[in-house]
Amino acid sequence: MKIAVVFAMEEEKDAFFKHFDAVEAIKHDGLLYYRLSHKTHVIHCMQSGIGKVNAAYRTALFLRENPYDILINTGIAGGVDTDLLSLVLAKTLVYHDVDVTAFGYPHGVIPEYPAAYETDASLLGTFRRTFEDTPYLEGTVASGDQFMTSVAPLQKTLERHPDLKAVDMESTAIAQVAYRENIPFLAFRIISDVLGSPTQVSDEASVEKATLKSGEALRRFIDAL
């Protein structure tokens, strides 16, 4: 299987690479990505940078570079009424900062696109089987171009998606590209900070633990493919 993986940050990428001895860096037409082999899989990894535009732009270039069987996004995220270091599987992905309700669209919906991006059913099943003996949360992950420090601005999103578990700045944009490119997509995140916590932006130890856990979870998932 040929697997594409997108990380937002270097720390997330490096946490996954700790599990492998040989990683080859490839640069082509200004796009830097990394190649490794594991079992019968060829895995290409790319660091998109933070934010929706970076994520969408570099993911689109990445997918055009090679044909892939599946696309995975993982890393860390902010928790919505969840515990630190929780594993969150995105069953659906939405935007929390898109608003064209003036034209009759539901909050978070981009015209001519789905109300929510769904995780591929087959990958969802594989994830559930892989982590059936491990506590994890399953629900909605919302993306936007803000580092959220309060649940208050998310009320409209929570009204439409009461199972909201986490927020980040990339995964829904990557899901939208996967939708456009018709490639099976899966996203899961580890909670590195909890919205509203007094230590949300200063708990570096939890961020480090979360990145390491995301790398371990990705390795475990790929082992199960």
Mind telling me the catalytic residues?
A: 12, 193
The answer to whether 137 and 165 are in contact (CB under 8 A) is yes
Q: Which residue has the tokens 């475990």?
A: 220
